[in-house]
Structure 1
Amino acid sequence: MKQIDKEKFGAFIAQKRKEKNMTQKDLAEKVYVSAQAVSKWERGQSLPDISLFMPLAEILQVSLVSLIEGEEEVMKDPKTEGLLQKIVEINEEKELKRAKISMKKLGTLAIILSLVGGEYFILYKYFGLNINNFLTSGILGLVFSSYFWLLADDRLPSYYDANKISFVSDGIFRMNMVGVYFNNKNWKPILKYLRVWVILMMAVYPLLGFIQGIKAVIAMAIFLVLGFLPIYIIAKKYE
């Protein structure tokens, strides 16, 4: 697939902007980005988000084909122009849908964390549980629940489907399971389970403070096994 020439693209934007007597700040304000972002485009350091291609073409009064090719009045094929517009619109719709899903997940997570916070308050206020019993689970749970619910992508890069890869690495998250190959068939159900498990970890871990000695160690070991064994089962099932 042909890639957009960043330098050519940037030079073209700079040329058309200057023809319209606009500063980088003027153009930035029209597409709701920073002047620094426009500067990076024009220097060939980056490309705009795909959702900005149509607004840029309209503001600079060029066709989408000319904008993408970075050339003055490239031979315009109505079918090609229409197809490009549809591609841009589809991607915009996907971004909007993703934003709506994220807001839904954020609302759900906020409710769940509020319930867990209520549990912590009751355990501390009415059962005298030491705050150290749920401080670790609370902090780790907040970090990992935020990642699994809001930041983790439901899809893996396509090369996972074409190769046998037994690890996933993304930001703060690392997972390496010998004998398991991650792909886009098993990743989504794994992620769903991890979202549930991390919340259960936050809710159940403080209760271990009521269990003394070896029983607490055994309970914790069982809890950790329940965290990883189902992942292995799910991964193999959908592999």
Structure 2
Amino acid sequence: MYFSSKIKEERQKHNLSQQQLGEKLNISRQSISKWERGESYPSIELLIKISDLFEITLDELVKQDNSLKEKIIKDSQQLAYPRWKLFFDILLTIGFFIILAKIFVVIGNKFFDLNIAFLQGSLLFQIGPFFMSIIGAIGSESLAKKYK
């Protein structure tokens, strides 16, 4: 919780209220309060503004606070292949919905005598949605872990 105490210490050293600091950073007083209580952290842009305002380095603000360092790293990560990830997510979703539709048709045919034929022709239509879901899940999961 180094950041929370550091921001409060610097704010008080510069004789600023939470409201005044919020106005200088164009944010609410409540945001400053949350930072000082350790409930949230600012974005990297705000950290730079704070560093400039208090004339301290980013190292002094960030380096001792592991949670803040992790947040900055996570915020800066971008997926390496966002379009492929979206493709696999869509494939997973379509496969899942086809499987659900088939289940509802089977239940409807069995209990309500509906006599609906839904994707019952070939083996491809029988196992295709299952494989779509599996391939979509594997592709999506593997690409979710790849960052630029």
TM-score (norm 1): 0.35
- 2:91 maps to which residue? 193
Q: Which residue in 2 is equivalent to 1:163?
A: none
Counterpart residue identity of residue 229, structure 1: F
In 2: Cα distance, 1:61 partner to 1:42 partner: 19
Corresponding residue of 2:4: 10
CA shift for structure 1 position 234: 4.7
Match in the other structure for 1:32: 26
Cα distance in 2 between the residues matched to 1:19 and 1:43 = 18
Contact (CA 8 Å) 2:92, 2:132: kept in 1 or not? no
Counterpart amino acid of 1:31?
L
Residue 143 (structure 1) aligns with:
none
Across the two proteins, how many residue pairs are aligned to each other?
113
Match of 1:207 in 2: none
Structure 1 residues 228 and 63: CA distance shift in structure 2, 3 A = same
Cα distance in 1 for residues equivalent to 2:50 and 2:119: 56
The 5-angstrom pairing of residues 45-56 of structure 1 reads 45-56=39-50
For the Cα contact (< 8 Å) 2:120–2:126, is it kept in 1?
Answer: yes
Q: Secondary structure at the match of 2:24?
A: helix
Cα RMSD between the aligned structures? 4.3
Aligned to 1:60: 54
Q: 1:219 aligns with which of 104, 109, 118?
A: 118
The structure-2 alpha-carbon separation of the partners of 1:231 and 1:41, relative to structure 1 and needing over 3 Å to count, comes to same
Shift of 1:39: 0.9
For residues 140-190 of structure 1, give each alpha carbon's deviation from its aligned partner in whole angstroms, at most 9, with x where no partner exists: xxxxxxxxxxxxxx69xxxxxxxxxxxxxxxxxxxxxxxxxxxx9xx9253
Question: Sequence identity, in percent?
Answer: 27
- Structure 2 gaps, min length 5: 65-71, 99-113, 143-148
Q: Where do 5+ consecutive residues of structure 1 fail to align? A: 1-5, 71-86, 99-153, 156-183, 202-212
Q: Deviations over 1:52-71 (max 9, x none)?
A: 2111101222111122246x
For residues 74-111 of structure 1, the C-alpha deviation after alignment (integer angstroms, 9 at most, x for no partner) is xxxxxxxxxxxxx88x93xx6xxx7xxxxxxxxxxxxx
Partner of 1:177: none
Question: Aligned equivalents of 2:23 and 2:130: distance in 1?
Answer: 49
Q: Distance in 2 between matches of 1:228 and 1:25?
A: 56
Partner of 2:17: 23
SS of the residue 1:21 aligns to? coil
- Which residue identity lines up with residue 54 of structure 1 in the other structure? I
Structure 1 residues 14, 43: CA separation in 2 closer, same or farther (over 3 Å shift)? same
1:229 is aligned to 131
- Number of the residue aligned with 2:109: none
> Structure 2 matches for 1:1-239, cutoff 5 A?
6=1, 8-69=2-63, 91=76, 188=85, 189-194=87-92, 197=94, 213-214=114-115, 216=116, 218-219=117-118, 227-235=129-137
Secondary structure of the structure 2 residue equivalent to 1:219: coil
